[in-house]
Amino acid sequence: MDWLEDELRRALAREDAPDGLAERVMARRALAPSGAPRWLAAAAMVVVAVGAGGAWRQHQGNQAKQEVMLALRLASAPVQHIQSEIRGITQ
Amino acid sequence: MLTEAVETGCDFKALVRQHQATVFSIALHFLRDRASAEEVAQEVFFSLHRNLARIETPAHAAAWLRKVAVQRAIDEGRRRSRRPQVALEDVAEPAAGVRPGDPLLSELLRKLVATLPEAPRMVMVLRYQEDLEPAEIAAALEMPVATVKSHLQRSLALLRGKLARRGIGESGWTG
């Protein structure tokens, strides 16, 4: 074996990686988004936002409908009472 | 096989631990900068994670990592344009006489290798760090085997001449 090649093997021997390199790589991997393309992730977010908006509007509609029905029931109660009183008098 | 690593993360971590010294050292010996070498190593393993489903065997993983480390290190070297910063004439003489195996000689050789142009420098790193045969180096660098052999011969002759002018050689060690 050539002396220079021996010295080059010694000079260019593998060195240990810095402490914690593997952990830093794993942390970087954990922080990274999944394999899905960015446009797909953005599209998914839009769908979720639109769906949530629709559900909120439906919830608000149902609540308003229940309030109207309650108001009608409250308003009709005195009328029904007067009608029953009139029926009693006429009979 | 290795695709399971995408789900568990275990095999990926094992691959990182197994090959981190190789990847880091390729970048370190090529760039001669530890911070840049670590950055390159992180990028290489991050790229491995994204491409893990394509890796078929442990041997494939080793070859893939070596090739990507070579490419990323060369890219980083071009980006930073480090090579012109060290000219052969700028390499300092060892402070004292050197003997075979002397750390001063190792440091001098690393500096001399760093002055080589991009392609022969990476050829030298793969040959003497990784102990690769010319055909394997040719595959990693995507160049003809004859070119690899030519780079090796010319680089060795250049280094031998530079060392001889410093009185360093088989027949005339200093000190």
Residues of chain B with pLDDT under 50: 5-9, 95, 175
- pTM of the prediction? 0.70
Closest CA to B69 of B49, B94, B41: B41
The per-residue pLDDT for B175 is: 46
Task: Report the domain count for chain A.
Answer: 1
Listed by number, the residues of chain B in 43-62 with a beta carbon closer than 8 Å to a beta carbon of chain A are 45-46, 49-50
Chain-chain contact of B16 with A21 (C-beta, under 8 angstroms): yes
Enumerate the residues of chain B whose CB falls inside 8 A of the CB of residue A8: 109, 113, 124, 127-128, 159
How many Å lie between the alpha carbon of A48 and the closest alpha carbon of chain B?
Answer: 25
Chain-chain contact of A3 with B170 (C-beta, under 8 angstroms): yes
The per-residue pLDDT for A87 is: 82
Enumerate the residues of chain B whose CB falls inside 8 A of the CB of residue A28: 42, 46
Is the Cα dihedral B11, B15, B18, B24 positive or negative?
negative
Contact between B97 and B175 under an 8 Å Cβ cutoff? The reply is yes
A1, A21, A26, A31: best to mutate for the B interface, most B CBs within 10 A: A21
**Distant-in-sequence, close-in-space partners of A7: CB < 8 Å, separation ≥ 6:** B100, B101, B105, B106, B109
Residues of chain A with pLDDT under 70: 1, 33-53
Put simply, whether A11 touches B (Cβ < 8 Å) is: yes
Put simply, whether A28 touches B (Cβ < 8 Å) is: yes
DSSP state of B57: S
Enumerate the residues of chain B whose CB falls inside 8 A of the CB of residue A15: 21, 24-25, 28
Q: CA neighbours within 13 Å on the CB side: how many for B95?
A: 3
The per-residue pLDDT for B8 is: 44
The chain B residue lying nearest A36, using CA atoms, is B50
The per-residue pLDDT for A81 is: 80
Put simply, whether A31 touches B (Cβ < 8 Å) is: no
The domains located in chain B, with CATH, are 4-80 (1.10.1740.10), 86-165 (1.10.10.10)
Tell me the per-residue pLDDT of B132-168, one tens digit each, with 9 for 90 and over: 999 999 999 999 999 999 999 999 999 999 998 888 8
Enumerate the residues of chain B whose CB falls inside 8 A of the CB of residue A21: 16, 20, 24, 38, 41-42
The per-residue pLDDT for B9 is: 47
Distance CA B143, CA B145 (A): 6
Question: Domain range for residue A70?
Answer: 3-90
